[in-house]
Amino acid sequence: MDYKSISDYYGEKVAEAGLELGAIKLSIENPFTWASGYRMPIYNDNRLFLSRPEYRALISEAFSEMADIVGLEKIDNIAGTSTAGIPHATTLADRVKKPLSYVRASNKDHGLKNKIEGIGKDGYKGKYVLLIEDLISTGGSSIAAVEAIREAGGKIDECFAIFSYGFDRAEEAFSSLSPVCHYHPILTFPTLLDVATKKLYINESDSESLIEWMSDPFSWGEKRGFKKEER
């Protein structure tokens, strides 16, 4: 089994679950405003998967099969990104019986002012860490987590995610790390598009618009009169 085979099998199931729950929403005529201010035709809230135990189990099973590729004997610690990656890192760590930690977006402003929780003051001590993320868009928050783990003495070269849009910016960001860190999503955008079309969440015209979005996501909204909101 390789990452693509796992993604092909589980990605379709995660897409169906996400569309059913509303964890993944598609809207071409009235695109969503992302935190960056860009108007985008897709919105993803993986926290909704937490509401259904069968979907939590599905994601955990997929991550477990991906972890087998890395090698369970190699993995010393499962780390989740704060906050949405934490529950899925927890279910995976419980499943494969590994220590758990999580990475904050920034250092805590009181107490020990930790950025990583679940490890002692001496950090990871050279142990191998597998990072669990919920969503990878441009990759910025994931890269910050990888760098924090390395600064804390962890070895990391793999990051798993529930979903990735597949932006070039993310690929470039991960590739620019030294050493390189690879990321592997359960669900990819092409699989989502295929499932959404087959299940009639979108029509062929919508599908074409979403393909255009993927080719130039950060200009797509402006070309349609949806200006980026300054934040």
46-66 core/surface letters (b: 16 or more CB in 10 A; e: else): bebbeeeeebbebbbbbbebb
CB 139 within 8 A of CB 170: yes
Q: What are phi and psi of 93, to 5 degrees?
A: -60, -40
Is 138 within a domain? yes
Number of domains in the chain: 1
Q: Note the pTM of the prediction, 2 decimals.
A: 0.95
Here the CATH number for the domain that contains residue 194 is 3.40.50.2020
Q: Mean pLDDT, the chain, as a whole number?
A: 95
What integer is the mean pLDDT of 99-126?
82
Domain assignment present for 230: no
Domain assignment present for residue 17? The answer is yes
Residue showing tokens 């379709």: 12
pLDDT > 70: what percent of the chain?
97
Question: How confident is the model at residue 108, as a pLDDT?
Answer: 52
Asked if residue 76 belongs to a domain, the reply is yes
Domain limits for position 19: 3-223
> What is the model's pLDDT at position 136?
97
Q: Is the pLDDT of residue 107 over 80?
A: no
Full strand arrangement of the beta sheet holding 182-188? 116-117, 100-103, 77-81, 129-136, 158-164, 182-188
Mean pLDDT over 190-206 rounds to 97
pLDDT at 12 over 50: yes
Tens of pLDDT, residues 14-32:
999 999 999 999 999 999 9
